[in-house]
Copies of this chain bind each other. A is one copy, B any other.
Amino acid sequence: MVNRRRAPRTDTAPPFRADDGRWQELLEIAARIFARKGYRSTTLQDIADEFGVLKGSLYHYIRSKDDLLFEVVRSVFSTGLDNLRRLAGSEHDPVERLRAVIRGHVLYLIDNLVETTVLLHEFDQLSDERRAEIPIREYQTIIAGLIADAKADGLVKPDVDPQLAALAVLGAANWVYRWFRPGGGRMPEEIANQYADMLVDGMLVRGELRPASGLR
């Protein structure tokens, strides 16, 4: 799961954040309801009810509703980006790196389904200032970079545009939040592997096709 950071991040924030456990709990509740109903359709009353306080009391933890969205989004984004960067630097073979990245991205998304749903579906609802704080294009940049590397090695079809291919990869992977439900009979590993194979194989030159074997 997402290893969330310390809570306070704004200058004139509510005094302290002594009880970090409670803050984490609030974030989780907010994320869950945002994911289920959408940010705009979620009321602070919804959140307060589940948190077990009166709605006004939420302002001990937040300064605005937008705060909650931002914090959920920022947290899952930055951990996810760290994850992606780590994977993108792991393997030696660029194609394997790409596979690892896609697999890892899908697994992270499923592992943090609630938060990634909020990130992917409600990103536009952030205020302009806060949206600007989140370098959302990084995902695309990293993946396109890997594809370009593999292309430079002659492993990727020459007519593949790395940016476009990266968008296809991200689209396929990110879309998972729209249909995956835990307990729905589909194993995360299965999804991650099939997606990685299909998307990577789709851009490779034929001779470079790895035996699509069963070892995974």
**Which residues of A are interface residues toward B (Cβ below 8 A)?**
15, 38, 40-41, 54, 121, 124-125, 157, 159-161, 164-165, 167-176, 178-179, 186, 190-191, 194-195, 197-203, 206, 209, 212, 214
Work out how many copies of this chain go into the complex: 4
**In the complex, A164 Cα to B191 Cα: how many Å?**
7
Provide the bound-state CA to CA distance between A174 and B168, in Å: 10
Question: Smallest Cβ distance from A173 to chain B, in angstroms?
Answer: 7
- Whether the pair B194, A161 counts as a contact (CB closer than 8 A) is yes
C-alpha gap A202/B206 in the complex (Å): 10
Q: Chain B nearest CB: distance from A42 CB in Å? A: 10
With both beta carbons as reference points, the residue of chain B lying nearest to A178 in the complex is identified as B171
Q: Name the CB-closest residue of B to A165.
A: B198
Task: Kindly state the separation between the CA atoms of A178 and B167 in the bound complex, as whole angstroms.
Answer: 10
Task: Please give me the residue from chain B that is nearest to A121 by CB atom.
Answer: B121
Residues of B within 8 Å of A195, CB to CB, are: 164, 168
Contact assessment for A168 and B206 in the assembled complex, using a CB-CB cutoff below 8 Å: no
What are the residues of chain B within 8 A of A168 when measuring CB–CB? 172, 175, 194-195, 198-199
A203's contact among B38, B191, B198, B209, by CB below 8 Å, is which? Answer: B198
